[in-house]
Amino acid sequence: MASWRSDSVGAFLGMPKAYDPTARDGRVPRIPGGRPWHRYRGSRQYCSVWRKSAEPSSGRYRLAWPGQPGHADRHYRSGQLGKGSWKDQRVPDVERERVDLLLASPLGREWLWEFLGILDTELRDRLGLGDPQGVGRSYGPGSEPPPKPKRNYDDWPNLDDSTVMQVFEDIVRTTTWRTTITELDSPEALMGLARITYSFGFSPGGESLWGLTHRSREALRPIAELLVTSPALDRWWDPMVRGDQRLLLWDNESHEALEEWVHTSMGQERAENDEARQRRRPRERPGVRIGAEWWSAPNFAQNTWTTGAFGEIPTIALGLFIDTYTPFEESEATVWSLEVPPDARIYEVQQPEDWRLLVERNPWDVTGTHDGEWRYWGDVDGPWFLPDWEKVMEDYDGVHVSVGGYLSSCGLALPVPDGYTMLSGWIPDSTVWLRDVGMSRRLIGTWSGNPHGVQQDWDSVMAGWKSA
């Protein structure tokens, strides 16, 4: 008989103790290896170690801590566990796993919420909440302002669970999200995600939306279930496509000696981080947040990372998923098609645990430069870690984060020894290259314009495109 048990390794604040963090059928999102990770729980994060114990004859996977007998690492999905043991059992339901991961991710839930077509202001009106500081409203002729809110915005964590769930169930029942998803195509799905990731973590009221959608995530489950089976998302969890990677070079700048560029860039980042750690962190004042670097991608990713090819889109990097490493003025860019040799060693990030493992095995303390937005998004104080890319390059030539991997990981504070890590500020489906693997390349076209002055739709983007 299999059973679930939770060993708490974190604090829980902001929600009633009777709150049940498990999923609809009593199961939590499955994480290969059963290692700890964060899931948003109300206004706070909750970190638990979830393990499923079962006898070999049960036909189910056993999730255990690293180093324990029967530890299943990240390779279990690709059939590398070996036959003749309890590990060689029924393959988990991949679609269900993806649904659970989306519902456990702040970015995933924010993306699901967008398909409902309801403004955040309307959600707060339905919940009787005021607006966060800095949000203004305008009313046209004949329109009336909503009733005076019953609660201040900051009081959202104290809303009754049943009230929150009822509001979300009503919204899901009365909106046309099924039609929207049924008519969704691949380019539209990618651009819709780009609009979310571009402002992720910086929209007023964003963190309340993460918390409220977590408490009502079962109401969002039908949306996630329909999306993960949509043809528009067919490639979102695929490994890196070696036959056609797309490289976007702004102002035709490139770094031919890639390994040297990685070492030079890392030396600069280490110096900046060490200098920042020597300075005392400013005291926080009420209502004022301390910013820092919030992106996980290394600085040498600029003009070196690549994305897969998606239909007629020259490169999805033009979709402006993030503003990092993108010019803020009129610029020109070239787009190249690269063929990756079959022996290139690629580390795949398909879900939060993959990123967490990469950092755990190659830790680099970046608290000096990254102790800002991450502590607010993850609701933990750090210390913060990222991969030590110079160590990673000893074993891998590149690190690929799939679209689904980013969608299910972004914004989560993932525990690693001595601290936490976070994946954010990364172009989905991009591969950060650490070594020159001898890729052949050909020019496919040029793009010109101000990337931050273009509307986030592919027609506007393609207006600046010229094929070679």
For residue 140, what pLDDT is reported?
66
For residue 282, what pLDDT is reported?
67
For residue 103, what pLDDT is reported?
95
- Separation between Cα atoms, residue 114 and residue 173, nearest integer Å: 15
- Separation between Cα atoms, residue 387 and residue 428, nearest integer Å: 18
For residue 54, what pLDDT is reported?
33
- Separation between Cα atoms, residue 194 and residue 187, nearest integer Å: 11
Q: 425: closest CA among 358, 361, 355, 329? A: 355
Q: Which residue has the higher pLDDT, 46 or 320?
A: 320
- Separation between Cα atoms, residue 468 and residue 466, nearest integer Å: 7
Q: What is the dihedral of CA 449, 450, 451, 456, to 10 degrees?
A: -90
User: pLDDT-derived band of residue 131, with 50, 70 and 90 as boundaries?
Assistant: confident
Q: 437: closest CA among 402, 401, 396? A: 396
Q: Which residue has the higher pLDDT, 326 or 310?
A: 310
Mean pLDDT computed over 113-118? 93
- Separation between Cα atoms, residue 447 and residue 101, nearest integer Å: 36
Evaluate whether 130 touches 153 at the Cβ level (below 8 Å).
yes
User: pLDDT-derived band of residue 154, with 50, 70 and 90 as boundaries?
Assistant: confident
- Separation between Cα atoms, residue 454 and residue 450, nearest integer Å: 7
Q: What is the largest CA-CA distance in the chain?
A: 73
Please measure the distance between the N-terminal and C-terminal CA atoms of the chain and give it in whole angstroms.
Answer: 62
Q: Measured at the alpha carbon of residue 3, what is the angle toward residues 72 and 35, in degrees to the nearest 5? A: 35
Q: 94: closest CA among 111, 79, 112? A: 79
380: helix, coil or strand?
A: coil
Half-sphere exposure of 193 (CA within 13 A, CB side): 27
Q: DSSP string spanning 182-248?
A: HT--HHHHHHHHHHHHHHTTTSTTHHHHHHHHHHTHHHHHHHHHHHHT-GGGTTTTPPP-SS-EEEE
> For residue 217, what are the CA distances in angstroms to 222, 378, 403, 408?
10, 18, 21, 14
β-bridge partners, 332: 448
pLDDT in tens, 47-99: 322 223 333 322 222 222 232 222 223 322 322 323 333 233 333 488 889 99
- Separation between Cα atoms, residue 358 and residue 388, nearest integer Å: 9
Residue percentage of the chain with pLDDT more than 70: 76
Evaluate whether 458 touches 191 at the Cβ level (below 8 Å).
yes
Evaluate whether 7 touches 49 at the Cβ level (below 8 Å).
yes
Helices 217-228, 161-174: inter-axial angle, 10-degree rounding = 40
- Separation between Cα atoms, residue 190 and residue 207, nearest integer Å: 23
Evaluate whether 423 touches 370 at the Cβ level (below 8 Å).
no
pTM given for the model: 0.78
pLDDT in tens, 208-249: 888 899 999 999 999 999 999 999 998 999 999 999 999 999
Burial 311-341 (b: 16+ CB within 10 A, else e): eebbbbbbbbbbebbbeeeebebbbbbbebe
Tracing tokens 């609809």 back to the chain, one arrives at: 24
